[in-house]
Structures are given as structure tokens and as C-alpha cells.
Structure 1
Amino acid sequence: MFWRPELYRHPQFRVGVRDMLPQTPGTAAWGLMTGVAMAKSGLSLVESLSMALLVFAGSSQLASLPLLVAGAPMWVILATGFCVNLRFVVFSLHLRNYLMHLPLARRLVTGYLTTDMSYAILTRRHPHAAADEAGRHGQLAHLAGSCLANWLSWMLPSLAGIVLANFIPVEWGLGFAGILCLLGVMATLGTTRLRLVSAAVAGATAVAAYALPFKLNIVLAIGVAVLACLALEGRPRLTQAQP
């Protein structure tokens, strides 16, 4: 996807970068502390760098680190990462119409680089997939810009955190800045009553099911919210935009 020069030259690429820029300080802080956590968890420098570059998923990285330290079986670690990232199944279903015209290799690269932030920013700027070639190209350029800005703002601080782990105290708690940043982006998506209902249902379910293992409360929250939206989406009052 991102090796095509015409995407960089498209005006929507710069729009995507600009839309992502307000989120980059929070992402950078989160990435920095994730890098520190990896380095201090007992992983070697090569293992930490490999995990940062290959996994590119902050939530599952942080969820798997305590299991790695505790010497948990590999299947438990993989199951935990799988459960934490199941929300991307829902994102993928939504992005299907945006990306299915691409070859498999480009879809795989796009899947690696697309995160909660870039998904939210794309769907806020372009609520519906374009039907024509020019529109699809513009949406891809926008996604490429936001993904590149997001990847750099996460990866560079994460690598710095790994290298400088002994000089950056974990007690700073900078990782919470990334969560606040993500909440800010998600809040801007609450443009209809149905979206607000889905957010409330997901939040309540996640809190009520917090005791479930492997972060399954997140998966359950997504499932319940999706079912609630499917049951309510036929009601015009809920799907109308808020004034």
C-alpha cells in the first residue's frame, strides 16, 4: 500500500497526516513506556526490538509481557494476544468495502499498519467507502498518511524506550497518555445517539466483566455492543446525527 508514490502525492495524504498529528504526543508517550516495559521485562535487546517492529500492537504487547516474565505456556501468551486484538475483526468488517479492491499483499500491509487511531480517523473523515476509483484512491491516501504518522509516532519512541530503558522510570506512567488520546478520538465519533448507546453498552459490559481472564471482557464488550446496535439500528431517531 505505502510503496506506491502516487499516494504520497495525493492531497488526502497530507490531510491524513494532519488529522493524526494531534494524537501523536499521546501515542509517543504510550510507545515510549511500552518500549521501557519490554526492555525491563527480561527480554533481550534483539527480542525487544523484534517484538516492537513485528507486533506493533501496544495493548497485546503489554498484556503478554507479564506472561512472558512468568514463563507462561506459549499457547496462553498467543491466546491472550489474540483475545486482546479481536476488536480488529470488527474494524476489518467495517473496512472491507474500503479495501477489498486491493491485492492481498497490500491488504496485509494495510492490516499491519492500521490501528484503532487510524481506523477511527479514517471513518470520521470518510464515513462511507467511495464507489468510484478516484474516491477510493483518496481514501487510501488519507489512510496512508494517518497510518504513517501513527506508525512513526509509536515506533520511534518505542525503540527509544528500549534503548534508554535504564534512564526512563516506569513510574512516570506516560502510557496512560495514549489511552487518553484514544478516548479523545473515540469521543469525536459520537455523532449519533446509536453510537453513544454503543459506547455506553460497551463500557458498561467491559467494566462488569472485568474479572474475565485473557482480557475477554474487551471481546465481550465489543460483541454485546455490536448486537445492541444491530437490534437498534432500524430506529431513525437513534441514527440521526446529533445537532
Structure 2
Amino acid sequence: MLSLQDVLRHRQFRAGAREMSAVSLGIAAWGLVTGVAMVKGGLSIPLALLMTFVVYAGSAQLAALPLMMVGTPVWIVWATALCINLRFVIFSAQWRPYFMQYRLRDRLLLGYFSGDLTYVLFMKKFPEARDDEGQVEYFLGASTANWFSWQVPAVAGILLADVIPTHWGLGFAGVLALLGLTYSLVSDRATSLAAIVAGAAAVAAFSLPFRLHIVVAIAAAVCIGLMIEGGGDAGRRLRAALDRARPAI
């Protein structure tokens, strides 16, 4: 991997940080909510700080917290976090062509800093893997902005949990910000259909334990996207159906 100095000077690093900063409001809101929730849920400040820096996964933290507070066996807590974060297996499979040439140590570091919005922005910027476009620099720029946008408000929420009222509705503000970002990324028939399928799959699978409906929704959206963009009879039939339904999408 390139040296830290070369990465920081690369134009794609700055581009990634800039584009991620544009959507940092929703990330910050969720980070603040998660920090407050950890302390109000019963974790000590040192343990909450350790959790936010080591786990670095808001949905897994919020899901594991109530289980920890009621003394749930450790294996159930781990299984819950694993199920919720299965979506990163899908993300990693998509990232593999871009980063497979790096050493295991470097790939593990990239894996730690990966995030949902980082994945979305990266794939929008680089739909194909190429060695000459500063892809890893863009990833690191976006990931750095994402990390700070999450951790700074999360630490503030942990340290100021006793003075931040829970009725502020910060979680809902974060949802609205992320919905606005999602809508801005729906730019063609493929992404429109993928979004519709993901939403329908999430609702249909909502009763699954451990929030597996998130994984089901992501997998369904990825499959639809691959069918539309890929070849084969199924892809051609789906594209033909979309062409006939164009006025409705």
C-alpha cells in the first residue's frame, strides 16, 4: 500500500473525504444516539468508549446492548452481532477485485474502516476495478471522514449522556438524513428497482430474529442489481420487462 503521506496528498483521497463529508449529518446523528444509548443502557464510560472504537458498527452495538444488559449468554450476543453484520460479507465480495492485491494486514485495516455509506459512494464512483484511478485512496478518504463523523459524536454522546435528553429525537433526524442520501443515489432503473426490492424484502422478512431482515434486503438488492447489469437470459428478460414498464419507474 502507498505511504501515508502519498495517500493524504492524493486527489482521490480528498475527493472521498469531501463526498463523505457531504452526508456526515446523518452519520453524526446516529453516532450521537449510539453513544448516549450505551451509557444510558448501563455501560460505564470506559467500556462504552472501548466498544465504540473496537466494534465500530452502530447497528450491532445497539442490538447487542440490551442483550448485554439482561445478562444474555455471550454466544447469543456474538451471534446477534454477526447476523447483523453479515451485510459486510456482501460488501467485501464486491470490494475483492479492487483490493485483492494488497497484503492481508492492509486488507484487515481496510475492512475495519469499511462502512455502509463508504460502500455506496465507492461503488458509485468506481463501478469497475482499475489500478490507475486512485481507488484505495478514495476509499481511505471516505472512510476517514466516515470514521470521524461517527466517532466524534459517539464520544460526545458517551461523555454527555447525562445531559442529553432522550426526547430530542436524534435517531429520527439521522433516519431522515440517511433517507435523503438514499433518494439522491436512486438515479436509474437498476437502482430504482433494487431500492424497491430491498424495501419490500426488509418488510417481508422483518419478523426474522437478530435483524436478519437487513441481510435479506441487501442480498435481494444485490441479486437484482447483478441480474440487471449482468448477462444471461434472466437478465435480458428482466431488462425487457423494465423497458416495457419504463413510464411507471
TM-score of the superposition, structure 2-length normalised?
Answer: 0.87
Match 1:196 to one of 176, 192, 195: 192
Contact 1:120 1:186 in 2 (8 A): no
C-alpha separation in 1, matches of 2:95 and 2:61: 24
1:163 aligns with 2:159: yes
1:13 aligns with 2:9: no
Check 1:3–1:180 CA distance in 2 against 1; reply closer, same or farther (3 A cut).
Answer: farther
Check 1:128–1:176 CA distance in 2 against 1; reply closer, same or farther (3 A cut).
Answer: farther
Contact 2:201 2:217 in 1 (8 A): yes
Check 1:180–1:128 CA distance in 2 against 1; reply closer, same or farther (3 A cut).
Answer: farther
1:72 aligns with 2:68: no
Q: Mark the runs of 5 or more structure 1 residues left unpaired by the alignment.
A: none
Alpha-carbon shift at residue 187 of structure 1 (Å): 2.9
C-alpha separation in 1, matches of 2:124 and 2:165: 36
**Residues 9-51 of structure 1, C-alpha deviations (whole Å, 9 max, x = no match):** 0011111111011211221111111100001111111110100
Say which SS state the counterpart of residue 79 (structure 2) adopts: helix
Alpha-carbon shift at residue 223 of structure 1 (Å): 3.0
Counterpart residue number, 2:176: 180
Check 1:159–1:102 CA distance in 2 against 1; reply closer, same or farther (3 A cut).
Answer: same
Counterpart residue number, 2:48: 48
C-alpha separation in 2, matches of 1:185 and 1:194: 17
Say which SS state the counterpart of residue 30 (structure 2) adopts: helix
1:63 aligns with 2:63: yes
C-alpha separation in 1, matches of 2:56 and 2:67: 18
Alpha-carbon shift at residue 221 of structure 1 (Å): 2.2
Say which SS state the counterpart of residue 207 (structure 2) adopts: coil
When the two chains are superposed, the root-mean-square deviation of aligned CA atoms in Å is 2.1
Check 1:229–1:12 CA distance in 2 against 1; reply closer, same or farther (3 A cut).
Answer: closer
Say which SS state the counterpart of residue 72 (structure 1) adopts: coil
C-alpha separation in 1, matches of 2:138 and 2:207: 39
C-alpha separation in 1, matches of 2:215 and 2:221: 10
C-alpha separation in 1, matches of 2:185 and 2:96: 19
Alpha-carbon shift at residue 210 of structure 1 (Å): 1.1
Q: Percent identity?
A: 48
User: For this pair of structures, how many residues does the alignment match?
Assistant: 236
Contact 2:36 2:164 in 1 (8 A): yes
Alpha-carbon shift at residue 159 of structure 1 (Å): 0.6
Q: Mark the runs of 5 or more structure 2 residues left unpaired by the alignment.
A: none
Contact 2:14 2:141 in 1 (8 A): yes
> What is the letter of the counterpart of residue 185 of structure 2?
L
Counterpart residue number, 1:118: 118
Contact 2:90 2:219 in 1 (8 A): no
